[in-house]
Structure 1
Amino acid sequence: MKKSIYIGLISLGLLTGCSDFLEEENKSTATAESFYLTQEGYNALINSCYSTLRDVYAPVPYMFIGGTDLFFGTGQEAPLGLTAYQTLTPGTSQVGNFFQTLYESIQVSNTALHYADLTAQTNDLTTKKGEARFLRVYYYFLLVQHFGGVSIVSDMVRQPITHFDRNSAEEVYNFIIDELLLAEQEVLENQNDFGRVTKRAVRHMLAKVYLTKGYEDFGSSSDFEKAAEYADKAIANESLTVNYEDIFAFQNDVNPEIIFSVQYDQSSLLNGGRHNWDTPFGPLITGTGEGVFKQLRLKVSEYLWKVYGEYDSRFEGTFLNVRTSPYVGHYLDEDGYPIDKYYPRTAEQYADTVTWRAEDLENRADTEIIPFNDSWWHLNNQSDYPSLKKFDRVQLPDVRYTHDLFVARLGETYLIAAEAYFKAGDLGTATERINEVRRRAAMPGHEGEMMIAQSQIDIDFILDERARELAGEGHRWHDLKRTGKLVERNKLYNPQVSQLYDNGQDPFMGANGNLKILRPIPLSVISLDAGDYPQNPAYE
């Protein structure tokens, strides 16, 4: 582990920003220590804390959504350890990279908090400390969910350390909560620069941390009550006003729904840093001039295709149900390109295809109509089904656009509140929070059909609702792990996993009868620690 932490002390001379308020700078004529003592240097250091979000989220999101009920692995490039668990070991490279990147990112925030007491004192210094504090414990929240107890390193590390003690998961959760409570006092209610941490972002995260802690052996009912309280504080009586599809619309990353995001813009991507969240879902698109590149490494499960109701607009907000020539033509000019294929999902849509075609004969006269059917999720179908569009990048000579990744948004805050109230025993309020989400999701004129009664709510319904609202956004593995449904719902809905069970194999079974719920501590951490750094039981 000493190597993982020490690598975090990289030169921060080149600072790649997360948005237009983070500018790329090269301060090669000044040492880091003297530079960070200035107002300009400390601002650059805080900006580098934000840029570490890109490092964490840059890879294909196997760690976040692989091996779930929503997506299963296809192709040799999809790591079996993360999509089907059978080959998950301490040597799985994606796990090791994830662990190391999180600690490197934590060390950048530790550096910022260290220099906060030394740098030039300014009116906004307390706010910046709160921002760094939030980012640091956000990474610890990812660590504790995936690995259980880990080492809490809260000081800037100047020299290699040969051994770290492993804190318990309870200690890590308490550290996260204590730091978030401090950050809530330090950051601003609103920021002039969109993308910086606000009180609302902190409250959303406090709600999620309390909710997750409540499920743990050391959790309690008061954690769910706190989760509900902070979720409502983050909601702040605000209704969901952004049309669902508009949340993810082309070049609309800054909208009232977004509480906190990993930001991208072309001017701040001079040294790379683009994410790969658009590439794995398919359908397979590799042609020159299409404007996107999709490899088909994670395929949509039959469960996810079917979980949307007849009047739920979130399907059309999640999946692109037309295929234009080129693919990105739909984004560049919705009415300006021929539509090769149309994928009507509902009975109403399919019954109205004649009218649909007549609305734009120039572009729809030759469209192939492919209604909802079993072939959409057939393993051999690589190209004929709607594409998950939420995070499509457009890469053309004259348009270079990388969609932001939404870490926290108001729709999820409502669902956090619903789950917290449900776990606290308040089904009435849980129903109200879910119905606000479903009201926004309803197709016009069908709001009544979308409303639910409190008798319908259980944890599986909440997971279904989170699938409809948040598919592809990086929450699903955490959702299943938190609620204790990781094994059950993979077995039911993930064809990779269910096939193993059908063949008499249990891919979740690890060493000494322990299940692979947590990820393994990477082999590099175990081997480099001079002391005894414990492995998680399923991998011993």
Structure 2
Amino acid sequence: MKSVKSIIYIIVLGIGMTSCSGFLDEENLGNTTAQNYYGSQAGYEGLVNAAYATLRDVYQPTPYVFCAGTDLFFNAHAEVPIGLASYQTLTPGNSQVEYLFKTLYQSIQIANMALSYSDQTEPFTDLETRIAEVRTIRAFYYFLLVQNFGDVTLVTDLISEPIVTFERDPASEVYDFIISELSATIGVLPESQADFGRVTKRVAQHILAKVYLTRGYDTTNGGSAADFTEAAALADAAIGGQSLSLSFDEIFEYQNDNNEEVLWSIQYADASTQNSPAHNWDYAWGPLVQGSNDGVNKKNALHPTEYLFTLFEDNDTRFEGTFLNIKTNPYTGYLLNPDNSPVAYYYPRTAQQLADTTAWRAASPMRSETIISPIDGHWWDVLNQVDFPALKKFDRVQLPDIRYTHDLYLARLGETYLIAAEAYLHAGNAGEAVNRVNEVRRRAAAPGTEASMEVASVDLDFILEERARELAGEGLRWLDLKRTGKLMEYTKVRNPDIKSINDAGTDPFLGANGNYKILRPIPLSAIALDAGDYPQNPAYE
């Protein structure tokens, strides 16, 4: 971990991000001491903003640790860490796992600092709300830690002097802490906030619903059937009667990041990315696009699997909301000048699209030279670098005159409905599970096909299919498969990297002493810095 002195130094220099709404503006604090500055409302607000800014640090890298090694994407480039992509060579030296572990604990210490100073700052109207916001962010980080690493160290106070050894607290105690923290903040946080992007009661309810849902599967760490009932009730509370009224495409529409279905997001704006890094979540999905006039830098690194490309029904508009079914020249022409950008490729996939290609081409002079590339095996061929639909959810624009970074969504209403569905299913209320799934599917339906998209029954496999269709590329799939115990089952069939190893007679998940690589390894750097005997996860011993 960083020393407390270095953490204070970074915060004083102003790591707080500038959001679209302006509530996280950077401020130069000069030579003011931390004690004096954080004693004022303005100073304490800056410290809270620093806790929000750590979200950028956690999610800034190319999202291999969140998205590789699932049934939705496979490794198509040498820069993807092979250990994350196919598990066999995943070791405690993996740099992406180390970054996640280290950055989460650094971020927790900044949250601990904000909480430590909360009883030293001057009283102001929003102080209790700000404290609840920071506690929610910290609980969210511990939820990421316990899901990825299992037993982890609970550090709930600001570290003000060197500590040379830590103990790993049981995952059951970590879950108890997270639940206690979020339950407390729900009673304090407002229903809404003037600044888009701040934590609200609905955000905490969404997170806590997922915590209960996750623990419900983990009976060895305190989970029980009652957790699913709690998760369903909390998810419904977070939904708050709000329907899914936007089209799926609108959720990720250019410059529509602050839309009504986003409960919580990491916000980005041009001014805020001048001195701090933007995320790299648009880069890895390909196809290869690196022209100076294209406004993007993409590489075919995490390639969609055949399973993902073929998962969508003809009437499901989430395919076109997730993937770019045209490729314009330049690439960002589809965002910035769609009426006047030549279409280089068109990717039809439904029966109607395949039948109407002649009419489609004739509809615009921008399509006269278009290569029509219908769905077949070349879409998911690992050697195909340029000719397949791009995952577009988080496309950025990087041009001299336009700098735009799409926000990253940490909680949105479509997922809240699916959390409720999964929880109701396991709580024994299949009817309510179907109702929540159908709300999501009706929104996804092409106009006039809503009734045909409804289903009469669901099981866990179907809900996970819905989560794939709704949430592909949003950094949740590994956690979904790990939570439900489906990680090995699904990837050994649907991920070609993992399937080839398994079909050759080697189980890529099998680690030391017969243990499976379901959790991430504790980084070697953390173990080496501990003066005691900090235990490794069993599969990596």
Q: Please, what TM-score do these two structures have when normalized by structure 2?
A: 0.97
Partner of 2:301: 297
Aligned counterpart in structure 2 of residue 287 of structure 1, from 288, 291, 308? 291
Runs of 5+ unmatched residues, structure 2: none
Partner of 1:247: 251
SS of residue in 2 equivalent to 1:11: helix
Rounded Cα–Cα distance in structure 2 between residues aligned with 1:137 and 1:287:
42
Residues 493 and 52 (structure 1 numbering): CA distance in 2 closer, same or farther, change over 3 Å? same
* Deviation (angstroms), 1:165: 1.5
Partner of 1:428: 431
SS of residue in 2 equivalent to 1:295: strand
Rounded Cα–Cα distance in structure 2 between residues aligned with 1:226 and 1:181:
11
Name the aligned partner's letter for residue 184 of structure 2. L
**Structure 2 residue 386 is matched with structure 1 residue 383:** yes
SS of residue in 1 equivalent to 2:432: helix
Aligned counterpart in structure 1 of residue 343 of structure 2, from 322, 334, 339? 339
* Deviation (angstroms), 1:354: 2.1
Matches for 1:136-215 after TM superposition, within 5 Å: 136-215=138-217
**Structure 2 residue 85 is matched with structure 1 residue 86:** no
Rounded Cα–Cα distance in structure 2 between residues aligned with 1:326 and 1:416:
39
* Deviation (angstroms), 1:506: 1.1
Aligned counterpart in structure 1 of residue 374 of structure 2, from 371, 374, 384? 371
Aligned counterpart in structure 2 of residue 359 of structure 1, from 344, 363, 369? 363
* Deviation (angstroms), 1:65: 1.0
Rounded Cα–Cα distance in structure 2 between residues aligned with 1:7 and 1:91:
25
Aligned counterpart in structure 1 of residue 264 of structure 2, from 237, 260, 269? 260
Partner of 2:419: 416
* Deviation (angstroms), 1:473: 0.4
Name the aligned partner's letter for residue 466 of structure 2. E
Name the aligned partner's letter for residue 55 of structure 1. D
**Structure 2 residue 62 is matched with structure 1 residue 60:** yes
Is the 8 Å Cα contact of residues 65 and 475 (structure 1) preserved in structure 2? yes
Rounded Cα–Cα distance in structure 1 between residues aligned with 2:461 and 2:500:
22
Partner of 2:25: 23
* Deviation (angstroms), 1:369: 1.1
Is the 8 Å Cα contact of residues 8 and 34 (structure 2) preserved in structure 1? no
Partner of 2:10: 11
C-alpha distance after superposition, 1:415-457 (max 9, x if no partner):
0000000011111000000000000000111112211011xx1
**Structure 2 residue 234 is matched with structure 1 residue 235:** no
Partner of 2:492: 491
Residues 10 and 82 (structure 1 numbering): CA distance in 2 closer, same or farther, change over 3 Å? farther
**Structure 2 residue 318 is matched with structure 1 residue 314:** yes
Name the aligned partner's letter for residue 474 of structure 2. E
SS of residue in 2 equivalent to 1:448: helix
SS of residue in 2 equivalent to 1:94: helix
Is the 8 Å Cα contact of residues 5 and 100 (structure 1) preserved in structure 2? no
Is the 8 Å Cα contact of residues 4 and 160 (structure 2) preserved in structure 1? no
Name the aligned partner's letter for residue 415 of structure 2. E
Question: Aligned residues: percent identity?
Answer: 56
Rounded Cα–Cα distance in structure 2 between residues aligned with 1:159 and 1:516:
35
Aligned counterpart in structure 2 of residue 127 of structure 1, from 129, 152, 163? 129
Rounded Cα–Cα distance in structure 2 between residues aligned with 1:8 and 1:86:
36
* Deviation (angstroms), 1:8: 4.9
C-alpha distance after superposition, 1:333-357 (max 9, x if no partner):
2212111111111011111122222
* Deviation (angstroms), 1:499: 0.5
Runs of 5+ unmatched residues, structure 1: none
Partner of 1:43: 45
SS of residue in 2 equivalent to 1:12: helix
Is the 8 Å Cα contact of residues 89 and 520 (structure 1) preserved in structure 2? yes
Rounded Cα–Cα distance in structure 2 between residues aligned with 1:8 and 1:181:
28
Is the 8 Å Cα contact of residues 421 and 432 (structure 2) preserved in structure 1? yes
C-alpha distance after superposition, 1:124-182 (max 9, x if no partner):
10000000000001000000000001011010111121111110000000000000011
Deviates more, 1:16-25 or 1:226-235: 16-25
Partner of 1:115: 117
Is the 8 Å Cα contact of residues 9 and 158 (structure 1) preserved in structure 2? no
Partner of 2:225: 221
Rounded Cα–Cα distance in structure 2 between residues aligned with 1:522 and 1:279:
26
Rounded Cα–Cα distance in structure 1 between residues aligned with 2:372 and 2:491:
32
Rounded Cα–Cα distance in structure 1 between residues aligned with 2:366 and 2:402:
23
Rounded Cα–Cα distance in structure 2 between residues aligned with 1:446 and 1:352:
19
* Deviation (angstroms), 1:358: 2.3
Is the 8 Å Cα contact of residues 212 and 482 (structure 1) preserved in structure 2? yes
Name the aligned partner's letter for residue 15 of structure 1. I
Name the aligned partner's letter for residue 503 of structure 2. D
SS of residue in 2 equivalent to 1:425: coil
SS of residue in 1 equivalent to 2:340: coil
Name the aligned partner's letter for residue 273 of structure 1. P
**Structure 2 residue 384 is matched with structure 1 residue 395:** no
Is the 8 Å Cα contact of residues 130 and 183 (structure 1) preserved in structure 2? yes
* Deviation (angstroms), 1:397: 1.0
Residues 25 and 67 (structure 1 numbering): CA distance in 2 closer, same or farther, change over 3 Å? same
Rounded Cα–Cα distance in structure 2 between residues aligned with 1:75 and 1:15:
33
* Deviation (angstroms), 1:9: 5.3
Q: Please, what TM-score do these two structures have when normalized by structure 1?
A: 0.98
Partner of 1:452: 455
SS of residue in 1 equivalent to 2:185: helix
Rounded Cα–Cα distance in structure 1 between residues aligned with 2:463 and 2:368:
41
Is the 8 Å Cα contact of residues 16 and 46 (structure 2) preserved in structure 1? no
Partner of 1:510: 511
Rounded Cα–Cα distance in structure 1 between residues aligned with 2:378 and 2:47:
51
* Deviation (angstroms), 1:77: 0.6
**Structure 2 residue 352 is matched with structure 1 residue 348:** yes
SS of residue in 1 equivalent to 2:327: strand
Partner of 2:77: 75
